[in-house]
Amino acid sequence: MNISWSPAEQAFQQEVRAFLAAELDEDLQAAGRLMTSVYAEHEASMRWQAILLKQGWLAPAWPVEYGGCDWTPAQHYIFASEQAKAGAPPISPMGIRMCAPALIAFGSEQQKQFFLPRMLSGEHFWCQGYSEPEAGSDLAALQMSAVDDGDALICNGGKIWQTHANEANWIFCLVRSSKEARPQQGISFVLIDMHSPGVEVRPIVSLSGEHIQNQVFFTDVRVPKTQVVGQLGEGWTVAKYLLEFERGGTAYAPLMQVRLAEIRAAAQRSGAIDQPLFAARLAQTEIDVGNLEYYELQTLCLLAEGQSPGSNASVMKILGTELQQAVTELGMELAAEYGRAYQPQAGRPGGPISYPHGEQFSGPAGAALAPLRYFNERAGSIYAGSNEIQKNILAKAALGLT
């Protein structure tokens, strides 16, 4: 595997750096640098989305005819890496990186023409409706019903852990349109206007005090059949396809390398770097993240050769989220007594703070951010299919176990 960039890729890297230097103002950089979860502050994220749209780089993975870029896998990785290094706030993945690929693969031409431009412009802001109180990792156990009513489906039930449902005006949902012998059968993938009568959003406040997650209830919500993606009753196929993008569509290493560099610099200033155990843990985490980067680059090589990443997506999801948690643990250890305080005002969270504490905070900003990031990253090994589920996938796909 050749991991050095070609002259053309180096030229592209310089182009990306020049663009970021010109377009990322101090406020946008602060929104990226002071994130407390995997989601940026909504207003900053949408402003950055508009800038990327103008540049033509908002949805590089889409086919060119729908607004994407004809980039190589290496260019995609370079772009993601340079954005992380520059402190750019990430855009929400729900529409552009998750629902859109499913629409492009399974949607009707009418659906593509209507929804895709509105995803790009930000007119439509999306959330995901998969998990239910009794159907999380075992997603096929979902029970939200969709009863046939002529040209529409009447939906009843509830979804939980909907990121940014409080901001979204559209949600893509898995619903049970019929009961079949296998639970994966009889599931449909539908698009629902959040302003439809019968849709209710209730907030879920996280341990970090942020309102990012929600529970959504549907009572006799009428959904036109024109908003079913793919065939009625065959939504499981669409859902599995979408999950490949949710699990394997992230380059984890670049942002972790930025965070580790911040931790190392803070440890040098405080003298914590002279503590042998802390220094050893920091060095080991840096090595592990470096190994993950090589694995991500190896996956790029497979994609460049036209091969499927296969089980690599599950490996990257496991390693990426576990290492994200390890980085936050180092941050908590370095924060020491400042890590005990609840100081959400130190960050730029991905949602409203339910218990604000003014503007001032005690201690270094990194120390005040540490517990907020620590609590948020606890969810990393659960969302997008828990890591236990990913290990089962690997056991079957890579080891042949049943």
Contact predicate 135/101, CB 8 Å: no
pLDDT band at 301 (very low <50, low <70, confident <90, very high): confident
Helix axes of 276-304 and 73-86: crossing angle, nearest 10 degrees: 150
Asked whether the predicted pLDDT for residue 327 surpasses 70, the reply is yes
pLDDT of residue 54 exceeding 90, the answer is yes
pLDDT class of 307 with cuts at 50, 70, 90: low
**What pLDDT, on the 0 to 100 scale, is given for residue 305?**
63
What pTM was computed for the model? 0.90
**Mean pLDDT score, 96-122:** 96
Cα 59 from Cα 67, distance rounded (Å): 7
Same domain, 302 and 235: no
Which range has the worst mean pLDDT, 191-205, 335-349, 379-393?
379-393
Q: Which residues of 108-129 are buried (b: 16+ CB within 10 A; e: fewer)?
A: eeebbebbbeebbebebbbbbb
The position carrying tokens 């130190």 is 346
Angle at 392 between CA 387 and CA 398, to 5 degrees: 115
Q: What is the pLDDT of residues 134-180, one digit of tens each?
A: 888 788 899 999 999 999 999 999 999 999 999 999 999 999 999 99
Structural domain includes residue 159: yes
3 state SS of 93: helix
Domain annotation covers residue 30: yes
What residue type is assigned to position 86 of the chain? A
Helix H or strand E segment including 203: strand 199-205
Query: Which of 138-147, 235-244, 370-379 has the weakest average pLDDT?
Result: 235-244
How far does CA 68 lie from the centroid of its chain?
19
Last residue of a domain, one of 242, 268, 293: 242
CA count, 13 A, side-chain hemisphere, 56: 9
* HSE-CB of 365 using CA atoms within 13 angstroms: 13
Residues 190, 171: one domain? yes
- Give the residue from 211, 242, 273 where a domain finishes: 242
3-state SS, residue 223: strand
Active site residue 262: no
Whole-number pLDDT of residue 21 = 98
Identity of the residue numbered 43: E
Whether 26 maps to a domain, the answer reads yes
- Beta-bridged to residue 156, according to DSSP, are 145
pLDDT at 245: 64
Same domain, 367 and 273: yes
Radius of gyration of the chain (CA): 21
pLDDT bracket for residue 78 (50, 70, 90): very high
Averaged pLDDT, 362-378: 92
Range of the domain at 258: 250-397
Is the dihedral angle over the CA atoms 48, 300, 307, 71 positive or is it negative?
positive
What pLDDT does residue 315 have?
87
- Residue 249: pLDDT over 60: no
Alpha carbon distance 115, 261 (integer Å): 40
Of the listed ranges 123-137, 205-219, 301-315, the one predicted with least confidence: 301-315
Give me the mean pLDDT over the 281-291 stretch.
97
Q: Which one of 82, 132, 167, 246 is the catalytic residue?
A: 246
270 and 346 together in one domain: yes
Residue 224: pLDDT band with limits 50, 70, 90: very high
Q: Look at the block and give the residue holding tokens 């979902």.
A: 142
Question: What average pLDDT does range 244-254 have in this prediction?
Answer: 70
Judge whether 195 and 143 are in contact, CB under 8 Å: no
> Are 11 and 29 in the same domain?
yes
Lowest mean pLDDT among 22-26, 43-47, 336-340: 336-340
Same domain for 222 and 279, yes or no, is: no
User: Are 254 and 393 members of one domain?
Assistant: yes
**Tell me: the pLDDT tens digits for 328-362?**
999 999 999 999 988 888 899 999 987 767 778 88
| Residues whose CB is less than 8 angstroms from the CB of residue 44 and which lie 6 or more positions away in sequence, other chains included | 27, 28, 31, 32, 89, 348
Q: Which two tokens stand for residue 151?
A: 């040209």
How many structural domains compose the chain?
3
Residue 84 lies in a domain: yes
| Residue 188: Cβ-neighbour burial (10 angstroms; 0-12, 13-18, 19+) | buried
User: What's the confidence (pLDDT) of residue 2?
Assistant: 61
CATH code where residue 166 lies: 2.40.110.10
pLDDT at 111 over 80: yes
pLDDT beyond 80 at 306: no
**Residue 69 — very low, low, confident or very high, per pLDDT cuts 50/70/90?**
very high
- The last residue of one of the domains, among 226, 242, 258, is 242
Helix (H) or strand (E) holding 129: strand 126-129
- Token pair of 1 as six digits: 């595997």
Whether 109 is covered by a domain: the verdict is no
Please, which pLDDT band fits residue 241 given cuts at 50, 70 and 90?
confident
pLDDT at site 309:
66
Q: Are residues 226 and 331 in the same domain?
A: no
Q: What is the mean pLDDT of the chain?
A: 91
Q: Which residue did the predictor score with more confidence, 350 or 250?
A: 350
Residue 125 per-residue DSSP state: -
In 3D, which of 328, 258, 316, 325 has the Cα closest to residue 291?
A: 316
Q: Do 326 and 372 have their domain in common?
A: yes
Instruction: Tell me the two tokens of residue 194.
Output: 């959040």
High-pLDDT (> 70) share of the chain, %: 95
